[in-house]
Structure 1
């Protein structure tokens, strides 16, 4: 890994409080013009290093350098923005502003106290054209797709002069075609002299888009190598301390072929999203619902759990048809739900681990509207033990947990009602390899207890434990694959190529 570094962290350490060592003399050297992966389990120290590299948190020891020179002073935010930018998994775009306003947020007047809107839009178009971002400058940001929000954030970063960009879990909310388009943009920008630090829990992506990789484990630097020199097995071993085979299906109890259907979806339709979708999931069965970004799979799942209203058709649980009570009716009927985005839909960050884990069962926690803290902590403590949630205790803020542990809290809430049906949308998005295996085991255990499980995802690892996978294309179920499906044939079906 030769070449001049655009960014370096040299012997960086960071401690929070007396007992939490977030980084212990770690090093990182990112060579200009390359894409460098930073990988590690949740809690390995990646997020802390990103905060230090972007000047949001000062290191306790060590040094950050850009182009061989010391980093700017913490107070000089403009200088930091000219050196480095981060596109986070949780978007920093302001939803109620236009694309043009977001591109030049806090500097819309270009030095003047009065905004010249024509000039603002013109500068925005020029910037987007320069970096080939296919977005209208007048579009309200909330109407952008996740993919386009990310591209706008990258363009905004480049407008400040930064040529080193950190991508933090950029593919967590993207489907397959959108990921390919993002990677093509990364390659194009790399050819124009932009350097990327790429953070992802999807190891296959590391090998697809990156040239170099650094591994952190338990707040320490483990290894830095080119991706050509570090095989996947060795990479996993470096991340975990031992080898994990990610793609080997784990044997579990076979569902009873004679069992009744717990979840029945009949001729479900929503204009413009999906048409006449019908399927069943039996007790103890894990069924997959797969497809691309415009397939309608997520819309079907959100209709089943009451987040959307069907135009025609019905959903029934254990033979009882759901009424029109939305999420409350679905919850009361026995449906547990893990949404696709834990940040926007799955957690209340201001609340504790215990409060988040028990939001679905307030009636179990007390009488006459008075909640028992002791009962709440008992219920939450059981979930913390069962799911292996790493927390200081039930009263810790959920915002302080790593991504994998936050996702476990979302699972805990879904399971708190002892659901007869469990609907999971991209259940392992943005979690590390250990947490992914833990959550897959939780799903298998739920099925073994007789829960009907519907896994809605285009991630192959999410689907490996399924007894069968239904594939949606353009709003309709286009095929069904029994256990033992091959990766290529399933991906081809999701892309509409079968």
Structure 2
């Protein structure tokens, strides 16, 4: 599908309630938004969709005044956005209700509604007046909760409605809903959509962000698609078929060629990794699957599917509520990353900066953090032994570093990710768990990393690739798809791009 130009400013009599014009945003070397545009008209619900990394969250931060654009501008009702420091002016124009609630559990509903302004203009809080104002506010917007209720007792649905009411109390009539249905069941979603429609009739406009495309067709009037930090198209939802929408989100396939196809793993081999009814309350439930030695299995899904949470529970960084993880037939009796490492699990986390690297340390120290016992005896580490191990990793992974002693913070993003891979592989794991393993790396580094993953599986390691990037999943023997915390579908190798993306978006 051919990309369309970003929307130009509208010269009609009634300007859009919110508008982004030619917005560009960079974070270091990363181009997060590339001259994108968005125009949201009053009284409508407008969807913003795109795969992870498309630029949606960055635009939200700019639309809400949390970050300034490097180029371009934001307008509300035709007027330039306020200065970043003028938070009251921003609150009167726009608000965002995030997937993770900003309601303070220890406070009552009334206190949450007027947090930071409990005195209602005075220096002393009049509790009776504040509760009366809170009741009036909730009645106006038909929010069915008691103002005295502690917020921790509210359902997810009611917390969202309280957040919307709080936003409206500042005067905002443009609300961004960021994955609002991620933690709701079907009945609660229908009630939320009913409230959205009611609020629309009262003059409230919504920008709706969701990984579930069926919801876009149910609740939205218009849709804008971002892909790879660029605006792809804007169209009325009624004029855009689901196949066209998925094609706009995915673009052309960028399959990475490989010279020799992988051999199928032995289907009779005992599983290297087995999950039995693995559950973590509120995130995923009764997840069961196996990965055999030499097998590559993909675990895919949208942003609220639970796939990352399952992976982090396997490797011990989250604690399961119920169920078991077995490695080579042995049940893990304790949680924690040390127990998982000792059991034979290697791990590449989703964020190399926060979870994968120690920036102040060298390439060598980062690459060998998991194997101190191999570097010397009696607690004394041999630098020569360490550097020999690391030079082998540098050569095998094609890490561009001056020496093992170079600071890891001096490397490019792709080479930093290779160091994280080196550490995960240093233990010769029976199971390798990878979360978005090629995120934020260039094409050449991506090819190198995916080749390493294939070679690792070919040597008999069970590999679990947890990603929503299609190129990360292409070599997998099977791809399991999660939706809203449950395993829904399994695809054998040779799957169709659009079919898999549709399943990941909850449309299969």
For the pair 1:328 / 2:338, whether they are aligned, the reply is yes
In the alignment, is the contact (CA less than 8 A) between 1:263 and 1:282 conserved in 2?
yes
For the pair 1:395 / 2:412, whether they are aligned, the reply is no
TM-fit CA distance, 1:215: 3.7
Aligned to 2:370: 363
Q: Write out per-residue CA displacement over residues 86-141 of structure 1, whole angstroms, 9 at most, x where no aligned residue.
A: 23455444455444433322112222333344544554455445445566656665
1:363 partner SS = coil
Matched residues in 2 for 1:182 and 1:106: separation?
Answer: 27
In the alignment, is the contact (CA less than 8 A) between 1:13 and 1:59 conserved in 2?
yes
Alignment CA distance shift 1:211-1:473 (3 Å): closer
Alignment CA distance shift 1:71-1:271 (3 Å): closer
1:196 partner SS = strand
Q: Write out per-residue CA displacement over residues 343-388 of structure 1, whole angstroms, 9 at most, x where no aligned residue.
A: 9x994599759999x989623477759899x9799879988989xx
Matched residues in 2 for 1:143 and 1:40: separation?
Answer: 34
TM-fit CA distance, 1:52: 3.1
Aligned to 2:97: 87
For the pair 1:224 / 2:201, whether they are aligned, the reply is no
Give the unaligned 5+ runs of structure 1.
Answer: 387-392
Match of 2:175 among 157, 165, 181: 165
Matched residues in 2 for 1:51 and 1:337: separation?
Answer: 31
In the alignment, is the contact (CA less than 8 A) between 2:371 and 2:427 conserved in 1?
no
Aligned to 1:71: 81
Q: Write out per-residue CA displacement over residues 25-71 of structure 1, whole angstroms, 9 at most, x where no aligned residue.
A: 54322111112233456555544433332233344554432223333
For the pair 1:10 / 2:17, whether they are aligned, the reply is no
Structure 2 counterparts to residues 37-52 of structure 1, below 5 A:
37-40=47-50, 45-52=55-62
Alignment CA distance shift 1:101-1:176 (3 Å): same
Alignment CA distance shift 1:281-1:82 (3 Å): same
For the pair 1:243 / 2:244, whether they are aligned, the reply is no
Matched residues in 2 for 1:147 and 1:325: separation?
Answer: 32
Greater alpha carbon shift after TM alignment, 443-452 vs 272-281: 272-281
Alignment CA distance shift 1:42-1:228 (3 Å): same
Match of 1:318 among 328, 331, 339: 328
Structure 2 counterparts to residues 5-404 of structure 1, below 5 A:
5-13=16-24, 23=33, 25-40=35-50, 45-59=55-69, 62-89=72-99, 91-94=101-104, 96-128=106-138, 130-133=140-143, 149-171=159-181, 182-216=192-226, 220-232=230-242, 234-235=244-245, 238=248, 242-244=251-253, 254-264=264-274, 281-284=291-294, 305-306=315-316, 307-308=318-319, 315-324=325-334, 326-335=336-345, 347=354, 362-364=369-371, 395=409
Matched residues in 2 for 1:273 and 1:21: separation?
Answer: 31
Alignment CA distance shift 1:73-1:279 (3 Å): closer
TM-score normalised by L of structure 1:
0.63
In the alignment, is the contact (CA less than 8 A) between 1:353 and 1:409 conserved in 2?
no
1:214 partner SS = strand
In the alignment, is the contact (CA less than 8 A) between 1:309 and 1:326 conserved in 2?
no
Alignment CA distance shift 1:62-1:418 (3 Å): same
Give the unaligned 5+ runs of structure 2.
Answer: 1-9, 256-260, 401-406
TM-score normalised by L of structure 2:
0.62
In the alignment, is the contact (CA less than 8 A) between 2:300 and 2:466 conserved in 1?
yes
C-alpha RMSD of the superposition: 6.4
Matched residues in 2 for 1:175 and 1:190: separation?
Answer: 23
In the alignment, is the contact (CA less than 8 A) between 2:131 and 2:147 conserved in 1?
yes
Matched residues in 2 for 1:384 and 1:82: separation?
Answer: 52
Alignment CA distance shift 1:244-1:159 (3 Å): farther
Alignment CA distance shift 1:13-1:279 (3 Å): closer
The number of residues matched between the two structures is 462
Matched residues in 2 for 1:171 and 1:269: separation?
Answer: 20
Alignment CA distance shift 1:245-1:47 (3 Å): same
In the alignment, is the contact (CA less than 8 A) between 1:305 and 1:327 conserved in 2?
yes
Matched residues in 1 for 2:491 and 2:82: separation?
Answer: 57
Q: Which protein is bigger by CA-based radius of gyration?
A: 2
Aligned to 2:403: none
TM-fit CA distance, 1:84: 0.6
